[in-house]
Amino acid sequence: MTDTPAHVPAGPIVVGTDGSPHARQAVLFALREAQLRGTGLRAVCAYDYTPARYTGYGWMAVPEGDGSLYEELHDVARQAVTDTVSELREQLGGPSVEVEIVTEAGRPAQVLLDASEDACLLVVGSRGSGAWGRLALGSTSTEVVHHAHLPVVVVPAGSSGAGS
């Protein structure tokens, strides 16, 4: 007689989003995949507007204030992700997917890799809104593909993510 392992529920699907058209396509793909798999979705937005970003260049001053600028950036990013996910959920229709929104300061690839530790799949767009958006595969996508510990889907430009 062989022992069969108990069914272990799949972790969520993690999708990176930065507001770019490529990221919207990745979110739409991830929502559809979460519906098909019957799992949750973790939409992750990383922003690198931390004090280290300013002081790391040496010539830029850290914005003055009580830290409210960073809180405001976090809140704006979180609201943008929430709005995008809501809009795309409505557009897609179908079964409801439980969605967790994560917004975190830090290097996008590292934030995504950290957020995917318990995930079953990591989804990113082929390019983001960074300065090198013309490249065939963005720096975040490339780093995620090379360092992920789980399957990664890079949604290509021009893909609707919804099977159309």
Q: Give the C-alpha separation, 113 to 131, whole Å.
A: 21
Closest CA to 31 of 77, 96, 82, 111: 96
Percent over 90 (pLDDT), the chain: 52
> What's the rounded mean pLDDT across residues 104-125?
95
For the domain 13-48+74-155, what is the CATH superfamily, name and number? HUPs (3.40.50.620)
Place of tokens 């973790």: 42
Q: Going by DSSP bridges, is the β-strand pair 121-125/99-105 parallel, antiparallel, or unpaired?
A: unpaired
99-111 pLDDT per residue, tens? 999 999 888 999 9
> What's the rounded mean pLDDT across residues 26-42?
97
- Cβ–Cβ under 8 Å, residues 111 and 42: no
Domain ranges of the chain: 13-48+74-155
Place of tokens 């809140």: 75
Closest CA to 31 of 157, 160, 129, 144: 160
